[in-house]
Amino acid sequence: MPIYDTSTPAARRALRAATIVLAVALSGAGAAQGTGNGNKAPAKSPAAIQQKSATKVPAGDSAQAPARPQAPVQDKKATAPDSGAEVKDAERKAAADKRREEKKKKDEEREKKQVDWIEKTLEYGIQQDRVDAMNAIIKVRDTAEKERLGRKLRESLREEIDIEVKAKAIYVLGEIRLKEAVPELVTALDDDSQDVKIAAVYAMKRIDDRSVTGKLSEELKKQDLKKDSNYTEAIIDTLGAFKAKELKDFAIGEIKKDSTSPGIRQNLVIFLGKVEATDSKDFLMKLAKDDSEDSAIRAYAVNSLARMKLTDTSPEIDRIIKEIDSYPVKKRQRYYKLYIYSIAALARMGDKNVYPRLINAIRSNNEQVRLQAVKLIKEIPEKRTIDILKYKVKNDPSVKVQRAAREALEELGVSPDDGEKKKDAPAERKEAK
Q: What is the pLDDT of residue 350?
A: 82
**Percent of the chain clearing pLDDT 90 (strictly above):** 57
Per mean pLDDT, which range of 58-62, 147-151, 200-204, 226-230 is the poorest? Answer: 58-62
- What is the rounded CA–CA span in Å between residue 69 and residue 49? 22
Per mean pLDDT, which range of 71-75, 290-294, 315-319 is the poorest? Answer: 71-75
- What is the rounded CA–CA span in Å between residue 349 and residue 311? 6
pLDDT band with cut points at 50, 70 and 90 for residue 432: very low
Q: What is the pLDDT of residue 14?
A: 58
Q: Are 151 and 118 in contact (CB under 8 A)?
A: no
pTM: 0.69
Distance set, CA 8 to CA 11, 19, 22, 177, 398 (Å): 5, 17, 21, 104, 119
Per mean pLDDT, which range of 118-122, 164-168, 266-270, 372-376 is the poorest? Answer: 372-376
Q: In the predicted model, what is the mean pLDDT of the chain? A: 83
Q: What is the mean pLDDT of residues 287-294?
A: 95
Res. 83: pLDDT tops 60? yes
Nearest to 40 by CA among 26, 55, 51, 30: 30
Q: What is the mean pLDDT of residues 391-395?
A: 93
Q: What is the pLDDT of residue 42?
A: 46
Res. 61: pLDDT tops 70? no
- Residue type, position 105, single letter: K
Nearest to 134 by CA among 148, 122, 117: 122
Q: Are 176 and 137 in contact (CB under 8 A)?
A: yes
Q: What is the pLDDT of residue 118?
A: 96
Mean pLDDT: which of 53-57, 316-320, 340-344, 413-417 is highest?
316-320
Q: What is the mean pLDDT of residues 63-69?
A: 50
Instruction: Measure CA 143 to chain center.
Output: 18
Per mean pLDDT, which range of 54-63, 107-116, 239-248 is the poorest? Answer: 54-63
Nearest to 344 by CA among 301, 303, 288, 392: 303
Q: What is the pLDDT of residue 244?
A: 97
Q: What is the pLDDT of residue 258?
A: 93
Nearest to 209 by CA among 238, 172, 231, 166: 238
**Structural domain boundaries in the chain:** 106-208
Nearest to 14 by CA among 22, 3, 6: 6
Q: What is the pLDDT of residue 5?
A: 52
Segment 153-198, tens digit of pLDDT: 999 998 899 999 999 999 999 999 999 999 999 999 999 999 999 9
Q: What is the mean pLDDT of residues 273-296?
A: 96
Q: What is the mean pLDDT of residues 340-348?
A: 88
**Percent of the chain clearing pLDDT 70 (strictly above):** 77
CATH architecture assignment, domain 106-208: Alpha Horseshoe (1.25)
